[in-house]
Structure 1
Amino acid sequence: MRPLADGYQLTLHLDAPAPLRASLPLLEVDGTPLGVAKQSPDRRTMTLVTTDPAVRTARDVRLVWSGDLGKEASKGRGITAAAGPTDAYWLKARRGPLLPADPGALGKYKVDTAEYNLGDEAVYLPGLKHRSELLGKVYTPRGAIGPRPLVVFLHGRHQNCYGDPADPNSLDKPWPCPKGMKPVPSYRGYDGPATALASNGYQVVSISANAINGWDGDAYDAGAQARAELILDHLALWQKWSTVGGGPFGTRFVGKVDLQNVGLMGHSRGGEGVARAAVLNADRGGLYGIRAVLPLAPTDFARATVPGVAMSVVLPYCDGDVSDLEGQQFYDDTRYSVTGDTAPRSTVTVLGADHNFFNTEWTPGQSVAPSNDDWAGDEKESPCGAKTPSRLTAKQQQAVGTAYIAGFFRLQLGHERQFLPQFDGSDARAESAGKAVVRVVSQAPLASREDLNHFDTALPAGAVSGKATATVCAGVTTTEVKAALPTCMTTDDWANAPHWTTAWFASKTPTTAVTKLKWSGSNGVVRVAVPAWKRDVRRFAALTFRAAPDPAGKPTTDLTVGVVDGLGRAAAVPVSTVSDALVRMPGANGNGLPKNLLRTVRIPLTSLKGVDLSDVRSVELRTDRVATGSAYVSDLSFSSPGLGLSAPAVLLPKVSASNVTVKEGNKGTHNVDFWVRLSRPSLRPVTVYAETNGELGESVSEVARRLVFKPGQVRQKVTVPITANTRDSYDLPFSLVLSAPHNALLNESFGHGLVLDDDPTPKLTLGNVKTVEKAGVVDFPVRLSAPSDKYITFSGVLKDGTAVIRKDYASVNDDATRPAVRAIDGYVEPGTTTGELQVKILDDKVKEPAETFSAVIGTVDGAVLKVPTTLTVTITDND
């Protein structure tokens, strides 16, 4: 740790490179995570600037991961946790009917495969500031006629090279792979879903992103923009190869690929990459018809939205990397983000699945490079241990992945409606998915649903009666973080609250708001009135909402759903008869389990007997099933399954933040202004959240605002106060992050700020030394003309004069078992004007004249010193 005028720079040196994980690396001080660390290219050094004074007395500094926060497993793995109170239920949980066709089954086409490789540094990615490979594996339906829909797969953040480097120092450049190492072929790990799709007539390309994995440790957004750019670069290749030909395939694909019917699957950080690619494509005018996006076990570090395109987010319940299942927020944030959005979206929670095994190249026993099961708890720990009956084997998990990836794209790109029940919330299942327990939450397209209440704002007066309360809540309360809004639950384990987990690049953006029902009697009723223009619901198939039990209550609870018509007749359906949404998910407290996830309650309208469905006046949630209880509810609507309309959202205005560079100044506080702009005026209000993020220190004030653009308004100013000082320091980069837009697309969502230090570099003065033989360790005079925020270092070599090394003097770092050390190093700590440069004087019993040797200083960092500078040491005999 070293102090700065505006905070503290904390540096952790590791004995071995940090693993390449999807989660963000954090520095934790005495059990408290302080923020996202920047990684050196070799991943051995982690650096963080913080204003937290706790670092001054830190006893324990360690690397932790954003997905592991609060998990008991991160502090004591190997302890077997007891099964949760509902684990036995989930082993025998209800399963929906089989689909009429199996999306995981091979189709009528034989599949040809090929690869293309345009080089390890074939393209420059501005979002990465490095060059990347253009490498992909192609799966083609042999003999298919005409242009075929294109599906692009993108793997996530995983080890990019394996083997022993010929030169360990070559790890400072993580890509291309150093000599002696090989690239990990992660792009080859999705043969199952790629072959299933291609055999049914779809063109599939799985692309490599090892360069991004190697360099994104210092990327401002953890590489999301770079991954999106890489996808569009590959699509540009296919645009050429499918029209005029060329490249490695000649005319083979001319007229064979439909670039106006494109789907994207991204795994891990690749999931955030494909979400960003869909938006980036729309920002650029929708050149490619990206119509469907499937983030698989994705990260979501910046609370982006993906409007306009069909989306299904796959959440593996036993994810040990992105343990907080933060990809849930893609669904939560997008579902009402654009008025009139006609695209369908869903989440698919797969019990018993981990993060890695969807990719065979990340699976032990299947991969060519070292790999692991990312769920690292005890193997007998329920429900995710490798030897528990609820855990899927690698092949079972890959079969589930194939079924849902292939089913989604066949539904959305090929309009194969037989797969609609797989994603509409009715939990119809694929035969090839085997024993897997899967829960789907679905938002039907706008044309197929009638929203009654989002349950994200307070209910009107009189809507709640009896011994019940209804409170809007968002976020969680933890021992470290106190939310500004009423919170939904209290936990020390962020990983068990996917709807309410904090996004590291947009930590002040409010999380999903829901209504928390609490009752202490059987007469409680929450009544939602149906407006006159919505009362005829005969065209819909079901009444649906999302629900989950309160973790502070009983493991299982229940409600009755009542539907009342204009004559006062009512139909009542207990939630427990149609859904297990009010049964706690499996797992005991710890290891991020049980997850508190809202799930689908779907009541077929055919079960609402005795009421006039052309004149529904109210929908009621009644507490007559359980005397006391508590539950969360959200998103009440009438709906029917439907494909909707999906296309790039090119008609939406685009919101961007400017970049700002400012001099620090010497006195007081001054303001720097970011401008947040819309690409064009909007007829509807546009909102977006804006907050500062990065190495703020005390120079840059923390700012968080919700910006509202009124119709016709195209820019807003966000003022960030900057505190000046007179000490030489480093330039300070930071960001203004835009997140969770409403009625707009994110374009330049990170505004880059830079505070330029404008203080003079201090001068370093070093002096000669006169000493006597018996002095032992002696100090050279080291003076700095003014305090600095930098850690000043300088170095050189020791040279004999009449004094001889190891006879008359020695380096303080000398080791008698090795050749004499002649290097000498010194430093001045931040905030001080005196420093240290030492040498050892060796005493003997021989009477001799005064002797001399010298220290020649050849390099200096952080200060002004004319080099080389020669310092002289004179030793006077004391015998």
Structure 2
Amino acid sequence: MESWSVDERKTVRVLGTFTLGMAAVLAIGPVVASAAPPAANSWDVQQVPTGYRVTLRLDEPVAMRAARPLLAVNGKPIGVAQQSADRRTLTLITSDKAAAEARDVQLVWPGDAGQGVRSLTGGPTDAYWLNARKGPLLKDDPGKLGRYKVETAEYNLGDQAVLLPGLGQKSEVVGKVYAPVGAAGQRPLVVFLHGRHEACYGDESAPSDKPWPCPKGTKPVPSYRGYDGPAKALASNGYQVVSISSNAINAYDNDAYDSGAQARAELVLDHLALWKKWSTVGGGPFGTKYIGKFDLQNVGLMGHSRGGEGVVRAAAVNADRGSQYGVRAVLPLAPVDFARSAVPGVAMSVLLPYCDGDVSDLQGQKYYDDTRNSITGDGAARSTVTVLGANHNFFNTEWTPGQSVAPSMDDWGGEGNGAPCDAEYAGRLKAKEQQAVGTAYLAGFFRLQLGGEKQFLPLFDGSDARAASAGKAVVRVVAQAPLASRRDVTAFDKTLPKDAVTGKATAVVCIGEACLVTDSPGSAPHWDAAYYAQHAPTLAVTKLSWTDKSGVLRLNLPTVHRDVRKYAALSFRAAPDPTSTPKTDLTVRVVDGRGRAAAVPVSAVSDALTRLPGDESVGLPKNLLRTVRIPLSSLGGVNLRDVRTIELRTDRVAKGSAYLSDLSFSAPGLGVSAVTAPKVAVADVTVKEGDQGTTYASFVVRLSRPTTRPVVVYAETSLPYADVMPVGDVAQAVVFKPGQVRQTVRVPVRANTRDSDDVKFYLALSAPREAVLTRNFGHGLILDDD
């Protein structure tokens, strides 16, 4: 091999948990090779037909995390790495010429990738967030235990009790039951699914080439036992809770085409099938104990980490199979969203820990962004709950040092990674404080959505109410009220009329990097790319910029929308532009038909235009849209029967820029969690490679029925890590015009005469509009005919 010592000159921007694109990892490049000097962890870079194969061999297995590991060359991340079965070898194929100049190759995680890189200007705001505004306390605290005693029991049907589609491996069927003693009748059921963590722990005296069942000398990590707090809070108030184990999926999902989402969904549905049987005719480990105790038509799902994508997928698969179970509420907790899946037709709240050191780009934000207007007529309520000072792991006691039986860690990574998240920072939550927040919001959400306990609405409607048990935690909620309780004015996702902006101001719609480019990885959750949907458009917002105090953005209400007396508040989402001045503010002015007006500074009702904490690196500060909520009762003198215009005025700060989204009138409400949209699915395809020219693998994408509205879904190839890849990259919108039910996505296949293996690849569907994704991955197989 030939050694290289040329200085590294190319930087690949890392988007949160992923690189800029799979194309960067797999595209064809020139042929060069290099090698490294001996080291504890050895590496090499070799020539391959598609560019460079970078390999890192580790002394110890790579940590089991939700995020995908990155390989960095000369300190700069160049791509997502494929792990070997024993997790000691990391490999990627890249066309990045930095690989040819390698002096050093290291494993890095997304939360590590930005160390030493300064974020955009904006100034330190840590002091404000240590004493940030807080709303009123609720009279009823969802974190408190209720009137029922809680009885717990576990069931274990074996380590290889069920074969999981999407994984090709057998999984354990293990769960912990939390039941309210003496509660009469059928009770709502909440299922908890943990995320990607180590499957086994202990001294491995006889290494095995199979990571599951646990090798001799090791034990399964009991991650499913880590949610006692919220489980007991729910059960003591009359809810049945089952927390299930998914260690087998964690052991094998590295090789799954969708990172294990389908397998996790199937496991959830398998447990629901068991409980349907056990609660009707009995049997299994409990006999007749739970007959008549579970309401399988009133089900909530909580998924943590990769479990979050699993429960989102479970809701979609359940709907596709005729809604055998009444999944009415889904709570992804610190989730991944690798495939940009919308969650229409069910109540949803996404909990985002600000100091997440694993899913550091807070990609779960996209569940809200992608779902909120995806289906016309969707009546479900949804929200995001951002918890400052919270990390990824501590919501699960079995992932928390000092509480877990297996080794565990603070995923933020210790000191020096940015003050707002350091372990000793005053705003950082201790483990038990964080778990108390999780208990309050998990229990409150399911009691609200499954039990109709409306006293908890203020926790999730954006009005800043607090639960006493959440303690000092600073929490920010963004909410979309149910359709029946909401009147949308504008989503700010389309160009405004020419006369809407006057004075020295501009309003421009932006998407993705057109909105924000930052050197701080993971700091733009709305706009960072997803792993299987690198090119699908992200959230469109309006960027309002001004250079003096004369700017006005004016929205005129149509006649049929002027009477707003039935609503409680006017609200929108907003965030300051980090490239603008440190201080940003606007005035909201509401004018009626007689010219009477009320003006409210944004800063008087919200800190949405205050920069979130952090001014260093590692994905801080986050650029998140937050709620500006103006109670209509505060608009004194304005005739709410005849509201004519809503203005956003730049009279507070002489120069600035802000992002705007989702302006609406709303009132609190539970809504109706049902949609009748068509289903979209992609079929598998097999094609011969051929000897010359280009052939095509034609994936058929179908709608379950015609519709009167256009349906759009995005399709993108997901390619394996292969030295020779005959498949071309494809990323396109698939549009069904009204009446159409079939479209074709053609993926080019480059013919050759080399004798090689058959090649598997996938077509991923994402970010649907006016349809529900059911089968979202099509499997492609290229048959080698040489």
- Name which of 202, 213, 228 aligns with 1:176: 213
Work out whether 1:108 is the aligned partner of 2:151: no
- Name which of 691, 694, 710 aligns with 1:666: 691
For residue 653 of structure 2, what is the aligned residue in structure 1?
626
CA distance in 1, matches of 2:688, 2:418: 55
Q: Give the superposition deviation at 1:533.
A: 1.1
Can you give the 5+ residue segments of structure 2 that lack an aligned partner in the other structure?
1-44
Work out whether 1:255 is the aligned partner of 2:288: no
Q: How does 1:863-878 map to 2 (within 5 A)?
A: none
Paired residues of 2:115 and 2:417 also in contact (CA < 8 A): no
Deviates more, 1:308-317 or 1:489-498: 489-498
- Match of 2:502, as an amino acid? S
For residue 354 of structure 2, what is the aligned residue in structure 1?
317
SS for the counterpart of 2:368 is helix
- With normalisation by structure 1, the TM-score equals 0.82
For residue 49 of structure 1, what is the aligned residue in structure 2?
93
Q: Give the superposition deviation at 1:38.
A: 2.5
- Match of 2:696, as an amino acid? N
CA distance in 1, matches of 2:728, 2:176: 47
- Match of 2:533, as an amino acid? A
For residue 605 of structure 2, what is the aligned residue in structure 1?
578
For residue 176 of structure 2, what is the aligned residue in structure 1?
137
Paired residues of 1:83 and 1:382 also in contact (CA < 8 A): no
Paired residues of 1:83 and 1:383 also in contact (CA < 8 A): no
Decide which structure has the larger Cα Rg and report it.
1
Work out whether 1:348 is the aligned partner of 2:375: no
Paired residues of 2:714 and 2:732 also in contact (CA < 8 A): yes
Work out whether 1:71 is the aligned partner of 2:114: yes
Deviates more, 1:83-92 or 1:521-530: 83-92
Work out whether 1:615 is the aligned partner of 2:642: yes
Paired residues of 1:494 and 1:501 also in contact (CA < 8 A): no
SS for the counterpart of 1:150 is strand
Paired residues of 1:302 and 1:739 also in contact (CA < 8 A): yes
Change in 2 beyond 3 A, CA 1:491/1:379 = closer
Q: Give the superposition deviation at 1:48.
A: 2.7
Q: How does 1:217-616 map to 2 (within 5 A)?
A: 217-378=254-415, 381-476=418-513, 487-616=514-643
Change in 2 beyond 3 A, CA 1:2/1:379 = closer
For residue 71 of structure 2, what is the aligned residue in structure 1?
27
- Match of 2:72, as an amino acid? E
SS for the counterpart of 1:489 is coil
Q: Give the superposition deviation at 1:532.
A: 1.3
- Match of 1:657, as an amino acid? V
Change in 2 beyond 3 A, CA 1:125/1:381 = same
Paired residues of 1:5 and 1:727 also in contact (CA < 8 A): no
SS for the counterpart of 1:499 is coil
- With normalisation by structure 2, the TM-score equals 0.92
Paired residues of 1:98 and 1:431 also in contact (CA < 8 A): yes
For residue 780 of structure 2, what is the aligned residue in structure 1?
753
Q: Deviations over 1:604-642 (max 9, x none)?
A: 001111111111111110000111111111000000111
CA distance in 2, matches of 1:730, 1:62: 30
CA distance in 1, matches of 2:111, 2:682: 31
Change in 2 beyond 3 A, CA 1:83/1:113 = farther
Q: Give the superposition deviation at 1:358.
A: 0.4
Paired residues of 2:122 and 2:582 also in contact (CA < 8 A): no
Q: How does 1:744-783 map to 2 (within 5 A)?
A: 744-759=771-786
Deviates more, 1:201-210 or 1:611-620: 611-620
- Match of 2:691, as an amino acid? N
For residue 809 of structure 1, what is the aligned residue in structure 2?
none
CA distance in 1, matches of 2:184, 2:458: 29
CA distance in 1, matches of 2:262, 2:436: 30
- Match of 1:44, as an amino acid? R
Change in 2 beyond 3 A, CA 1:681/1:32 = farther
For residue 721 of structure 1, what is the aligned residue in structure 2?
748
- Name which of 13, 18, 23 aligns with 2:57: 13
For residue 738 of structure 1, what is the aligned residue in structure 2?
765
SS for the counterpart of 1:751 is strand
- Match of 2:205, as an amino acid? A
Work out whether 1:678 is the aligned partner of 2:706: no
CA distance in 2, matches of 1:723, 1:59: 34
Paired residues of 2:121 and 2:582 also in contact (CA < 8 A): no
Change in 2 beyond 3 A, CA 1:267/1:21 = same
Change in 2 beyond 3 A, CA 1:360/1:578 = same
Change in 2 beyond 3 A, CA 1:739/1:705 = same
The two structures, once aligned, show a CA RMSD in angstroms of 1.9
Q: Give the superposition deviation at 1:7.
A: 4.5
Deviates more, 1:178-187 or 1:527-536: 527-536
Q: Give the superposition deviation at 1:599.
A: 0.3
For residue 41 of structure 2, what is the aligned residue in structure 1?
none
SS for the counterpart of 1:347 is strand
- Match of 2:219, as an amino acid? K
CA distance in 1, matches of 2:406, 2:120: 31
Q: Give the superposition deviation at 1:52.
A: 4.0
Q: Give the superposition deviation at 1:247.
A: 0.2
Work out whether 1:700 is the aligned partner of 2:727: yes
- Match of 1:618, as an amino acid? T
Among the aligned pairs, what percent are the same residue? 69
Q: Deviations over 1:413-446 (max 9, x none)?
A: 0000000000000110000001110000000000
Paired residues of 1:673 and 1:718 also in contact (CA < 8 A): yes
- Match of 1:514, as an amino acid? V
Q: Give the superposition deviation at 1:70.
A: 4.2
Work out whether 1:59 is the aligned partner of 2:103: yes
CA distance in 2, matches of 1:84, 1:192: 38
CA distance in 1, matches of 2:656, 2:167: 50
Deviates more, 1:81-90 or 1:292-301: 81-90
Q: Give the superposition deviation at 1:747.
A: 1.4
- Match of 2:614, as an amino acid? G
For residue 24 of structure 2, what is the aligned residue in structure 1?
none
CA distance in 2, matches of 1:376, 1:82: 24
Paired residues of 1:303 and 1:330 also in contact (CA < 8 A): yes
Work out whether 1:161 is the aligned partner of 2:204: no
SS for the counterpart of 1:500 is coil
Q: Give the superposition deviation at 1:708.
A: 1.1
Q: Deviations over 1:631-670 (max 9, x none)?
A: 11100000011100124x4x32211112122222221222
- Name which of 102, 119, 124 aligns with 2:163: 124
Q: Deviations over 1:158-190 (max 9, x none)?
A: 01100111212x1x2110000000000000000
CA distance in 2, matches of 1:703, 1:29: 27
CA distance in 2, matches of 1:81, 1:3: 38
Q: Give the superposition deviation at 1:30.
A: 4.0
- Match of 2:163, as an amino acid? Y
Paired residues of 1:379 and 1:387 also in contact (CA < 8 A): no
Q: Deviations over 1:551-610 (max 9, x none)?
A: 112333110001111122211110010000000000113121100000000000011111
Q: Give the superposition deviation at 1:684.
A: 2.1
Paired residues of 1:137 and 1:187 also in contact (CA < 8 A): yes
Q: Give the superposition deviation at 1:379.
A: 6.3
Q: Give the superposition deviation at 1:495.
A: 1.0
CA distance in 2, matches of 1:673, 1:518: 45
